[in-house]
Amino acid sequence: MLNKYRLTWAPEGKTIAIVEAKDAKTARKMAPQPYRKYLGEVAVTLMGFRGAIWAKPGMLLLGGVPSVASSWFDTREEAWAWLEAMTDGQAHKIDYQAVETR
């Protein structure tokens, strides 16, 4: 299975590419020129999405917690599906919900 990786040029912190590869080592080798000449300066981050929910001030979500976040999903759609399932019946308690990207 291929995962999405973000390639970042470390000296500037600039994203140089988003690639699909089987692992981080293979993803690093897919850096575009001229960055490929300096692979040690290319940071590789596995991309993913997760849902996060925060309760209104003074309220708690199911389970007695003020906020909750999912594990990481491969697609934004999976994260939104998790959010929809978790917010069912709790809409009156929710202050903010979002899909976060790493």
Query: In 3D, which of 69, 8, 66, 82 has the Cα closest to residue 38?
Result: 8
Tokens coding 11: 């000296």
Instruction: Kindly state the tokens that stand for 45.
Output: 């981050």
Contact 31, 21 (CB under 8 A): no
Question: 19: closest CA among 10, 8, 11, 69?
Answer: 8
For the record, the structure tokens of 62 come out as 């199911």
Give dist(CA 28, CA 46) in Å, integer: 11
CA distances (Å), origin 33, targets 5, 27, 39, 42: 17, 14, 10, 12
Percent of the chain with pLDDT over 90: 76
Does this model's pTM top 0.75? no
Domain coordinates of the chain in residue numbers?
A: 3-46, 49-101
pLDDT digits (tens, 9 = 90+) for 11-39: 999 999 999 999 999 999 999 999 999 99
Provide the pLDDT for residue 43: 96
